[in-house]
Amino acid sequence: MTLTPRRRRPVATTGATALLALTVLAGCAQEEPTNDEVSSSAPSVDDAVATSEDAATGTADDAAATSQAPEEAAVTSAAPDDEAASTAGPRSVTAADDSFEIEIPDRWEDALDLVEGEGILVAAKDTERVDDFFTNVVVTEEEYVSNLTSAVEETAAELAGEDGEYELLEPVEVDGNRAPGYTLVREVEGVAVHQTQRWISHDGTLYVVTFSAVESQAEDAAPVLEEILASWTWND
């Protein structure tokens, strides 16, 4: 009996969904306050004069009362420690199809509603920008490929193009599955972005993880991807 192989999308487009999805994440920067908003919130000259006059007419009794409040000052100085103690750690994000869970840094946020594309299971981003770009991670579900290593190498070369550069990475383990990968640098809306992809084959499905950061911050951001992959847990 002859088996007809499943139709697969061209290797060059496998993983490209996540590479393109970050364009949306790059453009979702929070708006800065306008000049009108800044002006309206700034004190006027008259306010400044009134404040200085009030300060000049303060009594010695007021100064004495202020100096007699050491307990209140002690409570105030202890507040930062209380805030630090309540700071949450990494938080869990579940894939859209419930196939796995990962942990993202506390200051990151879920960004799935900001991206559009086929098979996107997870999208999360930093809430702080660097060069108008949010460091982010996108996970997509792709069609199975039989030779993962060869497919990764071929895709990296084709996506980088003739003039682009890429680097193949040693495989890492993601909750029991081997995950080869590569890095490349692309320009997104005028910003040089360093991207790392890891491909994970699990139960007949290919999961492509794309981590993107401004090129100048790539080295500092790398541990975030390592922690995300280390936290990966299958739900089957």
* pLDDT tens digits along 199-214: 999 999 999 999 999 9
Q: Is 210 helix (H, G, I), strand (E, B) or coil?
A: strand
H-assigned helices in the chain: 16-26, 35-41, 45-56, 60-67, 70-85, 148-160, 218-231
Question: Is 70 exceeded by the pLDDT of residue 96?
Answer: yes
Domain ranges of the chain: 18-28+90-234
Taking only the tens place, the pLDDT of each residue in 101-141 is 999 999 999 999 988 777 899 999 999 998 889 999 999 99
Interval 4-13 mean pLDDT: 41
Question: Is 50 exceeded by the pLDDT of residue 99?
Answer: yes
Range in 10-24, 44-58, 164-178 the model is least confident about: 44-58
What is the longest distance spanned by two Cα atoms in the chain? 102
Question: Is 60 exceeded by the pLDDT of residue 23?
Answer: no
- How many angstroms separate the CA atoms of 174 and 136, rounded? 19
The CA distances from residue 120 to 2, 24, 43, in Å, are: 34, 13, 48
Q: What is the model's pTM?
A: 0.69
Interval 72-95 mean pLDDT: 59
- How many angstroms separate the CA atoms of 183 and 165, rounded? 9
Superfamily the domain 18-28+90-234 falls into: Mog1/PsbP, alpha/beta/alpha sandwich (3.40.1000.10)
Q: At 177, is the pLDDT very low, low, confident or very high (cuts 50, 70, 90)?
A: very high
Question: Is 80 exceeded by the pLDDT of residue 50?
Answer: no
Question: Is 50 exceeded by the pLDDT of residue 67?
Answer: no
Q: Are 92 and 83 in contact (CB under 8 A)?
A: no
Determine the number of helices (DSSP H) and then strands (DSSP E) in the chain: 7, 10
- How many angstroms separate the CA atoms of 213 and 217, rounded? 6
Please tell me what DSSP assigns to residue 91: E
Pairing state between β 108-110 and 133-142: unpaired
Looking at residue 114, its pLDDT comes to 87
The CA distances from residue 89 to 13, 79, 84, 146, 208, in Å, are: 36, 19, 11, 38, 25
Interval 138-163 mean pLDDT: 89
Nearest CA-CA partner of 213 in 105, 138, 136: 136
- How many angstroms separate the CA atoms of 28 and 114, rounded? 8
Question: Is 70 exceeded by the pLDDT of residue 19?
Answer: no
